[in-house]
Amino acid sequence: MRINSDDKMKIFGILAERYFIDNGWKFFSVSKGAEKLQKISEDINTQHAAYPSITRDWYVQNGGSRDIHLADSWDELKAVVGFIKTSPNAFDYFVDTGEIKAFCILSATKELEPGRIEIILKAQEAGIRTIVFLANVPSEMDASVLQIRKSEC
């Protein structure tokens, strides 16, 4: 059975998430979380406008959405949200390993496309780290269907 590229990416995502969970990392999917992150950023701005004596950093650190955005400061959240806005399809995950925070790219090879390398360099210039999760997902897998008859049970 041939595995198409969309299914391959889903399998990559499952492998990556299992790896992150097994290693105790916090993470969010950029494709699934980009809109949420933008909304969180806007909500913090709204709250800060209503109560300017409370810093944006306080809202970032004490808000109920901290598990979603993983940021420790307003500047960090703003940088991540801004980067996702300018390059929404460049990265697959944002991870917090406990030691570093970084965008994560899923790949089957160490050889990345020139466009991705350019975006990685831009992220590094913005002070955002990048990691690559490497996995080998085959293009074909064996599969079959067996019929069970009543007499075989």
Task: Give the pLDDT confidence of 122-151 residue by residue, as tens digits.
Answer: 888 888 899 999 988 888 888 889 888 887
pLDDT in tens, 6-51: 888 899 899 999 999 999 999 999 988 888 888 999 999 999 999 9
Domains contained in the chain, number:
1
Q: 129-152 as b/e, with b when 16 or more CB fall inside 10 Å?
A: ebebbeeebeeeeeeeeeeeeeee
DSSP state of 147: -
pLDDT in tens, 97-116: 999 999 999 988 888 889 88
Q: Which string of b and e fits 9-28 if b means at least 16 CB within 10 Å? A: eebbbebbeeebeeeebbbb
Residue 126 CB partners (closer than 8 Å, separation 6+): 79, 82, 83
pTM, 2 dp: 0.84
Domain that holds residue 65: 5-152
Residue-wise pLDDT for 38-89, tens only, equals: 899 999 999 999 999 999 999 898 877 766 778 888 999 998 998 888 888 8
Region at 15 (left for phi over 0; alpha for psi -120 to 50; beta for the rest): alpha
